[in-house]
Chains A and B, each alone.
Chain A
């Protein structure tokens, strides 16, 4: 028997699983009109955040992992050529692209998956992913904040907050938006929930 405690607000904020669950529950019980409205609203948010994500998070990590991709490219190429030979399909190039891109997505995937699993070593991997993502995003964020703030100390502090937003916050919100859009489309196709009218007779 272990007394379990409620996770803090901060921990729940990082756990994307809770967003996905909440979005799913909200959309599955919504009617068609509400679903359409939510799709439009969250779609607009996702549209605005996607360039930020691609530029300040994914793009930064892509640049940082260029050497890693270049080094792994020959091995990945050999693997995909063998796969083409076995399957007699020309999917090697696409597969190589996916694998090499995964290097960039890996930190983000760890950040999305591991907060929901309580394990010391997974916590360590999560910490390494967050730190790595934070450092890779720092450069572009520093340049961006430099256009707003001149004071060095303020520059550093604002960049800290902005970098945290770009490296963790943006992708969490994006995942939430995509979840709402996905389940909203599902609700639209299904026809939405019908409200039952309860008539009580005394």
Chain B
């Protein structure tokens, strides 16, 4: 940019008012008449400094005429005595807009967050950051966009419409998710090299990123790559963290990477209302958005446990083969027994009617819903975990220290540390 509006204002003020002061020194030598235009020049230039302008705005009375004269000081008609909320248009007595006001919807906050390809949502535990992330992620999924979520605290139904990994602190599953994203990034990059410039949005959401990104191999590199160049590939990153220290995310020496994120601090203001504090990209000022009540993600967990129709498998075939319509002669119809304990049975219909020993019909509700593909992946994951646990157990028995071992083998820290400790406790066999 050649010159900013503030610098141009300063130049014009100094040139004209300073010149007027100079003329006063010539016209009335020895008098103090030059002080007035000089003071106006200094005062006008001082108002072009954002920090001084804000302080002056707080000291000025709330007058509509001033509001019209200084649109930059009073944006959207806000009172200078109220906290600078982008969603409020109330007099000083009510600094926060009522919920019924159209400006109080989360759209302004979400729109501002979505203007940047990547977001860093910061908030302490139980602060509301996951609620905000959840609101955005489910909105993206509702729009038909692909949303991949890595959440160590996930639960069934918590992220409707999203592909979720990591429930039960399963960081290995999140690693699979990141591998998938890395592959997609490579594919899109290759397509971009062939001339394709437009890609459907792919959202990667990682909640509690401070517990995920530093411990997973390749996670940090992926985050860096996506933060720097993912926007061009339609890959949009949203991280939820408890603080924005670079060391927390493993970004020591790479603080400049955070410039690619729109940062939002989720906290409670003095009135107890949850607010999000963002930085204006142009002026660098802190802007506060009120967060109206959003859907509680926890309330969605129950809805996902309802039985849904699924594919048939061997169990269902057995049940269906033994089912007898009530009006037929029962004969000696054996009651079918469930093979195994039902957990590994796979999919089944929502209900099947069979006839019991007494001839009365018995309805069997099959509510286990597990995709066959997911069962296979689950089996592979289980084998991988078992092998990792065995390695740590053996290393503990051999007396190897944990830290270098973890740096080499990785895995879910809580689980492998327990295995290593268990190995340590076992007596050595000569």
Interface positions of A (Cβ within 8 A of B): 1-6, 8-11, 120, 123-124, 127-128, 130-132, 134-135, 137-139, 142, 156, 159-161, 163-164
Question: Are B259's CB and A138's CB within 8 A?
Answer: no
With a CB–CB cut-off of 8 A, which chain A residues contact B259? Answer: 1-4
Q: Quick one: which of B7, B19, B263 contacts A1, CB cutoff 8 A?
A: B263
Assuming A160-B19, A164-B15, is B42 touching A131 (CB within 8 A)? yes
Q: Quick one: which of B26, B38, B52, B279 contacts A131, CB cutoff 8 A?
A: B38
Q: Quick one: which of A1, A5, A142 contacts B22, CB cutoff 8 A?
A: A142
With an 8 A cutoff between CB atoms, is B23 at the interface? yes
A-B contact pairs, 5 of them (CB 8 A): A8-B7, A10-B4, A124-B46, A138-B19, A139-B25
Q: For residue B43, which residue of chain A has the nearest CB?
A: A127
Give the interface SS of chain B, mostly helix, strand, loop or mixed: helix
Question: Are A3's CB and B4's CB within 8 A?
Answer: no
Question: Are A10's CB and B41's CB within 8 A?
Answer: no
With an 8 A cutoff between CB atoms, is B244 at the interface? yes
With a CB–CB cut-off of 8 A, which chain B residues contact A6? Answer: 1
Output the residue of A1, A9, A123 with the most chain B CB within 10 A: A1
Assuming A1-B244, A1-B261, A4-B259, is B4 touching A131 (CB within 8 A)? no
With an 8 A cutoff between CB atoms, is B49 at the interface? yes
A137 to B14, CA, bound (A): 13
Question: Are A135's CB and B18's CB within 8 A?
Answer: yes
Assuming A9-B2, A128-B42, A163-B19, is B244 touching A134 (CB within 8 A)? no
| Extra A-B contacts (7), CB below 8 Å, given A1-B120, A8-B7, A124-B42 | A1-B255, A1-B261, A4-B284, A8-B3, A10-B4, A120-B51, A120-B52
With a CB–CB cut-off of 8 A, which chain B residues contact A4? Answer: 259, 284
Kindly list the 10 A-B residue pairs having the minimum CB-CB distance in the complex, ordered from nearest.
Answer: A138-B22, A1-B258, A120-B51, A10-B3, A134-B18, A160-B15, A127-B45, A8-B1, A135-B21, A10-B7
Question: Are A131's CB and B18's CB within 8 A?
Answer: yes
Q: Quick one: which of B25, B26, B46, B279 contacts A127, CB cutoff 8 A?
A: B46
A127 to B9, CA, bound (A): 12
A156 to B281, CA, bound (A): 39
Question: Are B2's CB and A8's CB within 8 A?
Answer: yes
Question: Are B261's CB and A138's CB within 8 A?
Answer: no
A64 to B11, CA, bound (A): 23
With an 8 A cutoff between CB atoms, is B16 at the interface? yes
Q: For residue B16, which residue of chain A has the nearest CB?
A: A160
Q: Quick one: which of A123, A131, A132 contacts B49, CB cutoff 8 A?
A: A123
Nearest CB on B from A151, distance (A): 15
With a CB–CB cut-off of 8 A, which chain B residues contact A164? Answer: 11, 14-15
Nearest CB on B from A12, distance (A): 10
With a CB–CB cut-off of 8 A, which chain A residues contact B203? Answer: none
Question: Are B45's CB and A135's CB within 8 A?
Answer: no
Contact residues of B between 256 and 285, Cβ < 8 Å to A? 258-259, 261, 263, 279, 281-282, 284
With a CB–CB cut-off of 8 A, which chain A residues contact B244? Answer: 1
With an 8 A cutoff between CB atoms, is B10 at the interface? yes
With an 8 A cutoff between CB atoms, is B392 at the interface? no
Contact residues of B between 20 and 59, Cβ < 8 Å to A? 21-23, 25-26, 34, 38, 41-42, 45-46, 49, 51-52
A8 to B281, CA, bound (A): 16
A9 to B19, CA, bound (A): 24
A97 to B414, CA, bound (A): 74
A8 to B222, CA, bound (A): 34
Q: For residue A132, which residue of chain B has the nearest CB?
A: B38
Question: Are A130's CB and B14's CB within 8 A?
Answer: yes
Q: Quick one: which of A10, A11, A127 contacts B42, CB cutoff 8 A?
A: A127
Q: For residue B5, which residue of chain A has the nearest CB?
A: A8
Nearest CB on B from A146, distance (A): 10
Indicate with 1 or 0, residue by residue over B111-146, a CB within 8 angstroms of chain A CB atoms: 000000000100000000000000000000000000
A80 to B317, CA, bound (A): 109
Nearest CB on A from B50, distance (A): 8
Q: For residue A138, which residue of chain B has the nearest CB?
A: B22
